[in-house]
Amino acid sequence: MPLKLTRAVFASLTVLFLIAPLIAILPLAFTSSVILTYPIPSWSLRWFEELFTADAWRRAIVNSLIIGGGTTAVATALGTAASLGLRNHLLFFRGSFRTLFLLPMVVPAVVLGVGLQVLLARLGLANSYAGVIIAHTVVAVPFVVVSVTGALSGIDKRVELAAQSLGAAPATVFRRVTLPLAMPGVLSGAVLAFATSLDEVVLTLFVAGPNQRTLARQMFSSIRENISPAIAAAAFLFIAATVAIGLVVVLSRSMMAKRR
């Protein structure tokens, strides 16, 4: 059937378009050459070595972990608390609160970056870890809110009522019932917050000083200025981390699904 064939060809080509770039970059992480092209003359781990020993890259990795960790902690705490507050359907301006919390996802990063650069300088937070963590938290928090609100809305209100009727005080209901049930959402929100921070470039360009250079920022300038296979090695780490994070999320989802 020609239609069926057309569909198969179209779908395959699109899958190729989507996936091929990600696959193409991986082998170059193991090249021994100094230029980022195929064919690969011989295999080597020198670029991973470079990544973990060269000062600029090593510091970038450490900075990414510090800033990513800080962002995850702040964004998860703020986002989870706010999602719990949003559960109250009787709240005035509930919709407006929600819109405000999600809006950082929409506003162009460059626009926010310009504004934050000036503000943070005025607050004395320019070129500081705190400043970068604040900037990253602003864009990471919507992911936490979406994820936790989703998990909370999946909780049957009557389960909490049942816990009350069985003798659990409100704090106990929260600790023993609400929080455990929302946990998968909180976890995947935290993972998304970390991923957002890890991948953030534009705000970092504006608010970070040379001492807060993150891995993504370092990749950006190295693509721009002196591209080398170190990029491919960094990309390999990113993709490996993505797959790992994806597995965590899938596992937590299936855990949630199993209980439902």
Partner 1 sequence: MAEFIRFDQITKFYGALCVVENLTLGIEKGEFVSLLGPSGSGKTTLLMMLAGFEAPTSGEIVVNGLAINGVPTHKRDMGVVFQSYALFPHMSVGENIAFPLQMRGTARAEIEQRVARALDMVQLSALRDRWPSQLSGGQQQRVALARALVFEPRVVLMDEPLGALDKQLREQMQLDIRDLHRRLGLTIVFVTHDQSEALTMSDRVAVFNKGKIEQIGTPRQVYDQPATRFVAEFIGETNLVEGVVERVSGGEALVKLPSGATLCAVADSAVAGQTVHLSIRPERIDLSDSRRPGGNSLETEVTDSVYQGDHLRVQLKNPAHPLIAKLGRRSQEYPPGTKIYASFAADDCRVIAP
Partner 2 sequence: MTRLRSRTARSLLLLAPLFVFLVWFFVWPLVGMMSQSVSDSAVLNLLPRSAGILTNWDRRSAPSAEMQQALIADLRAVQDTQALGDMVRRLNSARSGFRTLMTRTVSAVSDPAGPPADLVSIDKRWEKPEFWIAIADALSPYTDRNLLAAIDFGRNAEGAIEKLPPDQSVNLVIMARTFWIAALVTVACAAIGFPYALIAASATGWKRDLLLGAVLLPLWTSLLVRTAAWFILLQEKGLINDLLLALHVTSAPLALIFNRTGVIIAMTHVLLPFMVLPVYSVLITIPKNLMPAAASLGAPPWRAFVRVLLPLSLRGIASGSLLVFISAIGYYITPALIGGPGDQMISSIIAFYATGTANWGMAGALGVVLLVATLLLYSVYARISSEEPGRA
State which of positions 144-203 bind partner 1 (CB under 8 A).
156, 158-159, 161-170, 172-173, 176-177, 180-181
Nearest approach, Cβ of residue 83 and partner 2 (Å)? 8
Q: Which of 17, 41, 257, 259 binds partner 2 (CB under 8 A)?
A: 17
- With contacts defined by CB under 8 A, how many residues of the chain interact with partner 2? 77
The reply on whether position 60 binds partner 2 by CB under 8 A is: no
Of residues 135 through 194, those in contact with partner 2 by CB under 8 A are 135, 137-138, 141, 145
Q: How far is the CB of 160 from partner 1 (least distance, A)?
A: 8
- Work out what residue 18 binds among partner 1, partner 2, none; the CB cut-off runs from 5 to 8 Å by kind: partner 2
Q: Which does 156 bind (CB under 5 to 8 A by kind): partner 2, partner 1, none?
A: partner 1
Q: What's the rounded Cα separation, in Å, for the pair 250 and 245?
A: 9
Residue placing its CB nearer to partner 1 in the complex, 118 or 169: 169
Is the separation of the CB atoms in 132 and 120 below 8 Å?
no
Rounded Cα gap, residues 203 and 116, in angstroms:
8
The reply to whether 251 sits near partner 2 by the rule CB under 8 A is no
Q: Which positions lie near partner 1, rule CB under 8 A? A: 156, 158-159, 161-170, 172-173, 176-177, 180-181, 258-260
